[in-house]
Amino acid sequence: MPVTFRLTTTTTCRWAISPLRETTSAVRLLTRPDRQGYHGPWLRAVAPALEEMDLTPLLQVMRGTYNPDFLMPPPAGPNPVFADELALVRRTPAAQVRAELSQCLHAHHGRRLPPPAQALVDHPPRARALLADTLEACWDRLIEPWWPRLRDVLAGDIAYRTGVLADGGLAAVLADLHPSVRWHEPVLTVDVGTHGHRDVGEEGMVLMPSTFEWPNVGVMLDEPWLPTIDYPARGIAALWTPRTDPPAALDRLIGRTRAVLLSALTEPTSTTGLARRCGLPNSTVSEHLTVLRDAGLVTTHRVGRWLRHTRTPLGTQLSGGS
C-alpha cells in the first residue's frame, strides 16, 4: 500500500539531520531483529546499558506500522540539537498526545487495550513525560556516545545527494532515494505498508537520511507536520566495520598515512570523522589531506557548517575502488 505526495512546481525539498529521529529509529531497531544486520557491533556495545534501562513504555508505541508523530517531529532546521527537539516533544498538547497514542496502540492491539497501554492513553501528560524521559535516556546512553560517527555518515549522504541535485535536479534525487520511492511527475509514491495522500506546495518536504532505518523508508504524512521521508543513508555498511589496510602498491606510492586516508575516504567525510575512522590526530589528517588535494586525489567542499572531503575519480582509481 502506497503513500502519495503530489508536488507542484514551487515545491522544494530540504535535508535535515535529526538526533531525535535517529534515537527513535534506533529504538524501533531493537524490536526488529531482521533489521539489525549492519548494527551488530553497536548492539553488543550498548547491551549493558539496555540491561539497565526500562524501555517498556517506549517500545509499546514504537513497534507498529504507525508510531506517534509527536515523538519525532520534523526539525525546523538542518542540524537541530537534541535538547531542542526533546523540548518540542514535552510541549505537545495533551489532546494530540492522547489521539496519536490511541491511534498507535489500537492499531497494534485492536479494540481492547491491555492495562499498560490503556494507562498511556488515559493519562496523556503523564505519558508524554514518561516517553520523553525514556527518549532522553536512550539518547544519553545509546546514541550520543556514537553520535559523531553517525552524524558523519548522515552528512556524507547529504553531500552526495546535493551533488545529485546540482547535476540532475530534484527528479534525479527522488529517483535515486530508495527502491520503495517512485517519482512520476508530479506524484511521488512511497511504499510503506499503509496508504494516504498529501498535496505538497511551497511548504516543501523534508528528506532525512538515517543510519538505523535500513532497509525500509518511513514517512510523516499528517498535518501540522511537514511531509517527511526518512531513508537509509549511504555508507551504513561500513559504519561499524574496522578500517581495512590500503593496497600495498598505494602504500609504496604515496606513503602509509596518505594511503590509509585515501582508502578510508569511501564516502564524503569530515576531517574529524576521517581522523576518528583512521585513529589519527585531526592535525595530521588535515596536513595530509592538503597534500592529497594538491595532488588531485581529494576534493573538499562545504555542507552547512562542515567541510566534506571526497575522493576524485583518480583517487578512487589509485585506491582500487575500495
Q: Give the model's pLDDT for residue 315.
A: 87
Same domain, 111 and 246: no
How many domains is the chain built from?
Answer: 2
Amino acid at 265: L
Same domain, 36 and 132: yes
Q: Give the model's pLDDT for residue 244.
A: 64
Q: Which residue from 170, 179, 149, 168 is spatially nearest to 272, judged by alpha carbons?
A: 149
pLDDT tens digits for range 87-106: 999 999 999 999 999 999 99
pLDDT tens digits for range 54-79: 999 999 998 877 889 999 988 888 88
pLDDT tens digits for range 253-269: 899 899 989 988 877 78
Q: Which residue from 74, 24, 99 is spatially nearest to 227, judged by alpha carbons?
A: 74
Q: Give the model's pLDDT for residue 274.
A: 85
Same domain, 185 and 301: no
Place of cell 549493558: 48
Same domain, 186 and 248: no
Contact 124, 94 (CB under 8 A): yes
Same domain, 205 and 258: no
User: Would you give the distance in Å from CA 282 to the centre of its chain?
Assistant: 25
Same domain, 220 and 197: yes
Q: Is the pLDDT of residue 250 over 90?
A: no
- Residue 23: give the domain boundaries: 2-8+17-236
What is the spatial order of strands in the sheet that 218-220 belongs to? 13-15, 205-210, 228-232, 218-220
Three-state secondary-structure class, residue 123: coil
Q: Is the pLDDT of residue 197 over 80?
A: yes
Which domain-ending residue is among 219, 236, 253? 236
Same domain, 154 and 43: yes
Q: Is the pLDDT of residue 242 over 80?
A: no
Same domain, 205 and 170: yes
Q: Residue 79: phi, psi to the nearest 5?
A: -140, 70
Pick 268 or 228 by higher pLDDT.
228
pLDDT tens digits for range 120-178: 999 999 999 999 999 999 999 999 999 988 988 898 888 888 888 888 888 888 888 88
Q: Is the pLDDT of residue 26 over 90?
A: yes
Q: Which of 27-31, 83-87, 220-224, 284-288 has the least mean pLDDT?
A: 220-224
Q: Give the model's pLDDT for residue 279.
A: 80
Same domain, 122 and 191: yes
Mean pLDDT of the chain: 88
Contact 28, 212 (CB under 8 A): yes
Q: Give the model's pLDDT for residue 8.
A: 87
Q: Is the pLDDT of residue 243 over 70?
A: no
What is the spatial order of strands in the sheet that 187-191 belongs to? 181-184, 187-191, 2-7, 196-200
Q: Is the pLDDT of residue 305 over 70?
A: no
Which domain-ending residue is among 208, 236, 264? 236
Same domain, 153 and 267: no
Same domain, 22 and 54: yes
pLDDT tens digits for range 273-300: 888 778 889 899 999 999 999 999 999 8
